[in-house]
Amino acid sequence: MPRRTDRITSGARRTPFTPEVPTFAEQGFANLSSEEWFGFYAPAHTSASIANAANAALRAALQDRAVIDSLATLGLVASPSSPAEMAESQRAQTERWGPLVKKIGFTAES
């Protein structure tokens, strides 16, 4: 049995900000992993060319050392993705968490 600790991180990997803190998986909870994320959205029916241009600009910004360092002060790791990767991530999260949200009756107004 893994050694238990009073500090655990919920991500799939240890965070670079507290590398000594183990993950839930390391503590024996392999299926309990969740990471916060932030995304940029455009209105529905935004053209692919505009979405791709915005994504290219965001990807470039998220590789800039000043942006990376600024995000790090908030405990965030820059992790650029594509519109397709974002859509897949949201689909997977909806599939994972949707049944629980429905079961407990959570709504935006809750």
What are the pLDDT tens digits along the chain (110 aa)?
A: 556 667 888 888 898 888 999 999 899 888 888 888 899 999 999 999 999 999 999 999 999 999 999 999 988 899 999 999 999 999 999 999 999 999 999 998 88
Domain containing 20 equals: 1-35
Asked if 31 and 51 sit in the same domain, the reply is: no
> Encoding tokens for residue 100?
């629980």
Quote the number of domains for the chain: 2
State if pTM tops 0.75. no
Distance CA 5, CA 27 (A): 8
Q: Are residues 60 and 31 in the same domain?
A: no
In a domain, 26, yes or no: yes
Q: Is residue 51 located within the same domain as residue 100? A: yes
Q: d(Cα 85, Cα 37) in Å, to the nearest integer?
A: 13
